[in-house]
Structure 1
Amino acid sequence: MKRTSLTEADCPVARALDAIGDWWSLLIVRDAFDGISRFGEFRRSLGIAKGMLTARLRDLVDCGVLETAPASDGSAYQDYLLTEKGRALFPVVVALRQWGQEHLYAPGERHSVLVDVVAGKPVEKLALRSADGRPVGWGDTRVEKL
């Protein structure tokens, strides 16, 4: 089945999913935040087929989430590095992580946590706030077309 492109959709969620919406792409971005930058490292971490990884890395480079650079160790390999656009996905990855922690683990089940390196404590749960600082939920918002 041919994939439908959402690059021209009116909805920013649809466009974002078109760019990074499959699980492999988000897991690659997660691994990049964790310091992975080489093809082989991504492959070992994810257990993904070479062809699939090649395609996902190419797509992430093409949409500007990752960029390639000569390997930092001077070898013939290349590194895949997060761009500014890619680093802007950090709150998205954190939100998915926190949602998963809250809803997909049994009480007491072991899982990883995101820790603030300065304080040495888990990062607080993300919260959406209005322009004046009030916490807002889905019932406090609406979508308006510009």
Structure 2
Amino acid sequence: MKWDALEEEPCSLARTVAVIGDRWSLLILRECFLRIRRFDEFQSSLGITRHLLADRLKKLVRFGVLRKIPYQEAPKRYEYILTQKGLDLYPIIMSIVHWGNIHMVDSRGRPLLHEHKNCKKMFDPVMVCSECGEPLTAKAVHVHPGPGVRRSSPERAKVSSRDRTSG
């Protein structure tokens, strides 16, 4: 598996890592969900170099995670808005935040709390089965080959040769 060809792999995780698998892309997405939209705001908030920020924003636009909308003509300046594809990353970002809230906080506690607008309660994100609504854990999931699996791949043959349990 080649790092610069992950987007071509027959693996949903590898293809996703091709888009958001570096720290700056994840932090840019965090800022987007915190309503940051402009280049200078990203740079100020993250302390990232202009070149690196431009590169990551360009990649997120190319993959359809963000769309670039002009807000000023002279000089030309843009806002970066999450597309539906970008908004669909919210559960991933929240899962990472939740892991950090459990395993990486210091004695001061969580840096941010999340309130559900509908019920007005602070919450922790949970992953549930789309079919029955029960919480999911790695040990409660079996992996089977899907229609997109590359049958010639030795790694995929392992999954297809037996019912595999995650974790």
Establish whether TM, by shorter chain, passes 0.5: yes
Deviation sequence 1:19-48 (CA, Å, 0-9, x none): 111110011111111111110000001000
Asked if 1:117 is matched to 2:117, the reply is yes
Question: What's the RMSD between the two structures over aligned residues?
Answer: 2.0
Name the counterpart of 1:145.
145
- The alignment covers a number of residue pairs equal to 144
Max Rg structure: 2
Map 1:1-146 to 2 at 5 A.
3-71=3-71, 76-129=76-129, 131-146=131-146
Distance in structure 1 (CA, Å) of the matches to 2:110 and 2:124? 18
CA contact (8 A) 1:130 1:136 kept: no
Runs of at least 4 residues off by over 6 Å: none
Q: Once the two structures are aligned, what percentage of the paired residues are identical?
A: 35
Q: CA deviation at 1:4?
A: 2.8
Give me the TM-score of the superposition, normalised by structure 1: 0.88
What is the DSSP-based 3-state SS (H/G/I as helix, E as strand, rest coil) of the residue aligned with 1:5? helix
Name the counterpart of 2:159.
none
Q: CA deviation at 1:132?
A: 1.8
Distance in structure 2 (CA, Å) of the matches to 1:31 and 1:69? 17
Distance in structure 1 (CA, Å) of the matches to 2:82 and 2:12? 21
Name the counterpart of 2:157.
none
Distance in structure 1 (CA, Å) of the matches to 2:8 and 2:102? 34
Which runs of 5 or more structure 1 residues have no equivalent in the other structure?
A: none
